[in-house]
């Protein structure tokens, strides 16, 4: 899949994440817990994780604005997104199916 298509899919997913967070701000605990766990383990994405932590500690409206930003900096940041678990598998696979016809669920489970 061409890189620009991946970026468009990631942006669309983060827009959906923003909608969910607007409706249920308590879901912000998911990316915060992911970051805490990842930072505790260490790794090569640490500079992005610290930036994500700063973003997530800001006001909700700012978080929502930033994660939907279509800028080179946020394109890079979304490659290390801490929002895993905010979208359900079914919600997430909708984006995969829409961005590439013929996408198959790797586990073979019917959780889409």
Over residues 74-99, the pLDDT tens digits come to: 999 998 899 999 999 898 888 777 76
* pLDDT of the residue at 29: 97
Q: Pick out the chain residues at pLDDT < 50.
A: 1, 102-112
CB-based contacts of 7: which residues, under 8 Å, 6+ apart? 75, 78
* pLDDT of the residue at 62: 96
d(CA 77, CA 72): 9
């Amino acid at each position: 899949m061409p890189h620009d298509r991946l970026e468009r899919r990631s942006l669309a997913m983060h827009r959906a994440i923003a909608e969910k967070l607007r409706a249920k701000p308590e879901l912000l605990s998911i990316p915060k817990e992911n970051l805490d766990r990842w930072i505790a383990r260490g790794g090569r994405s640490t500079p992005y994780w610290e930036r994500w932590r700063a973003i997530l500690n800001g006001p909700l409206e700012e978080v929502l604005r930033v994660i939907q930003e279509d800028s080179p900096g946020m394109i890079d940041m979304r490659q290390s997104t801490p929002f895993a678990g905010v979208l359900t598998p079914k919600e997430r696979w909708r984006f995969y199916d829409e961005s590439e016809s013929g996408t198959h669920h790797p586990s073979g489970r019917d959780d889409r």
